A = this chain, B = another copy of it.
Amino acid sequence: MLQQLNKEVLLKRREALEQVIKRRFIYQPAFSLYGGVAGLYDYGPVGCAIKTNIEQYWREHFIIEEDLFEIAATILTPEPVLKASGHVDRFTDLLVCDTKTGTGYRADKIVTETLEQRIAKEGDKLGADVKAKYLAVIKDVDTYKQDKMKEIIAELQIKAPETGNELTDPSPFNLMLPTIVGPSTKLPAFLRPETAQGMFLNFARLLEQNGGRVPFGAAQIGLGFRNEIAPRGGLLRCREFQMAEIEYFVDPTEKATFKKFNKYINLEIPLLSRQLQADALQHQPFKMGDAVKAGIINNETLAYFICRTYLYLVEIGINPVNIRFRQHQADEMAHYSSDCWDAEIEMSSGWVECVGLADRSAYDLNAHSNATGQKLQAARKFKVPQPRQVLSIILDKQKIGKELKKDGMALIKFVEALPDDEKLELSEYFQTHDEKVFNIDGKDLTLNKQLVKFEQKTMNVMEEKFIPHVIEPAFGIGRILQAIIEHSFNQRDDPQKTFFKFSPRVAPVKCSILSVVQNEEFDLVIQELTASLKKLGISCKTDNAGVALGKKYARTDEIGIPFAITVDKETLTAQSVTLREIETTKQVRVPIVEVPRIILELSSGLILWTDVLTKYPLFAAKEEDA
């Protein structure tokens, strides 16, 4: 029987789970032979297979369903790109160092830990005022800017924890890992901190692939890097981590509605809105249609991706009661963002942000347009001409021709052909300047303000340019994997007998093929069955060792193989095997020839175990007595 999950249950099971994670190499610290490096983990066979499966299902659930353009951009990213995106200046944590040993600490973390220790140690002796102050600081410290942090560290006399030495003043430490590309150009570059920038940079190419139309989405699955000051929590805060991101480009005038959202208006999802947080209340289920109508979620496009994210998480095996979507506070969001929600999953360490869903407005496309001078825009096409205020430029062509001679024509042609937004820029420029120099075909030509007039006209246009807005769902694959593992972990009546109740499509290996006793005739059957499963691309694990069947089941249970096929005496006469499901340990008897297709359909979610139970006779087993 599955236990109801909550933080306490998860915490209680964690020790047993940690042992399994290590013993079965689900994931483990990297470079242990060399003493290890904090924040770097290697996925072993079980963890790697689950990772591949949740990525593959992410492709089905998001990329195929929404016809997204999946790309694979590079990790190496030249500095100017990340300067434009804001990462060079703002992708930082506040660092403090031990003034004598030089050891570095994340400022918010060291403040929190010190104050928590003081509260734990001195308790009521602190006095109510001091304790309240400490708790207030702990709550807000991760939002403190450099000056405020300095002030608090001085005021509360925070010291280096190991030595008690003074700390340096907090200073921003950039979390990107730097490198240098090339032997002679020596191009400063970073390892990308997110996969998003690659999609923004390819916006124009992808727009072209979509026939110039928005909305459309780009997607990317790949690694991000963050030079964490204090990595911790296993896969929760790593220096190298797998992400899956979508950048969904929409016309800002159209993002309020999203056609496919209609089918989810009655879907109930636990939301922790800004208001609920302000009122210090818990998350509560909302019908998604209502949440948009009430203005809790900014627009249907964002709400649609919240729904799809929720359904994805449930489908891959996250317990629905341990999921909530928490809205960012106004001061927590980036200034350009109009709304932002985190999918949080309750784990043994509490609620953990696993997916971020942000409305990034036009920020990123704008940033790269400004940095490169290349317009990253789409066009809104009208079926019937629309009246629009258009700025037109009237040039004194005669005077220009006189002044510039034959260059005059070039200047006139160039200025008249300026796109609308640049005409607007020019009109603004002339409010404070008297002349403007254009470089035309390599020649600097000067346009005098006196020779230009601007006129607002209403014209009928067939299209207009705009910068798309972006809705960005960003998934942390490692965090989601850790959540799946925690939620799927179970112990039978004998707590030594542990198993994972993975969703079959996520399970690292789809089935095991076991022999009830060692027997050469059984081995032949196992070989043939294995071959026919592999032909369908189904992973399976055989075990024909001379140990009790119960022990073989325990081994495959421990890594969460959902289905076990057992070859026994009857197999040779009746051409059938038993098929066992991991959670219930119930078994049915199935003709051998039907086994590969059953496993294939179970693991791709086309049928459920209950379908198998209704179709085939139950087999009364005694194999659990190992």
Contacts and interface: CB of A to CB of B under 8 A. Distances in A.
B205 A64 contact: no
Interface in A148-203: 173, 177-184, 187, 189, 191, 198, 201-202
A81 B34 contact: yes
Interface in A49-101: 49, 51-52, 56, 59-60, 63-65, 67, 69-78, 80-81, 95, 97
A28 B73 CA distance: 10
B71 A42 contact: yes
Contact of A45 (B44, B45, B173, B209): B209
A239 interface: yes
Most buried by B among A33, A43, A51: A33
Contact of A65 (B38, B64, B534): B534
Stoichiometry, copies per complex: 2
A117 interface: no
A40 interface: yes
A33 B368 contact: yes
Contacts of A70: 45, 48-49, 52
A78 B182 contact: no
Interface residues of A, number: 84
A604 interface: yes
Query: What's the dominant secondary structure at chain A's contact region?
Result: mixed
B71 A181 contact: no
A223 interface: yes
Contacts of A59: 52
Contact of A74 (B40, B77, B208, B209): B40
Contacts of A459: none
A42 B202 contact: yes
A537 B60 contact: yes
Given A25-B205, A178-B179, A43 B64 contact: no
10 contacts: A25-B209, A37-B189, A43-B71, A44-B205, A45-B209, A64-B534, A75-B75, A104-B182, A177-B179, A177-B180
Interface of A: 24-25, 28, 30-34, 37-38, 40-45, 47-49, 51-52, 56, 59-60, 63-65, 67, 69-78, 80-81, 95, 97, 102-105, 173, 177-184, 187, 189, 191, 198, 201-202, 205-206, 208-209, 223, 225, 227, 229, 239-240, 242, 368, 371-372, 374, 534, 536-539, 541, 604, 606
Given A34-B80, A52-B70, 12 more contacts: A30-B73, A30-B198, A32-B201, A33-B368, A37-B181, A42-B71, A43-B73, A44-B205, A60-B534, A102-B184, A182-B229, A183-B227
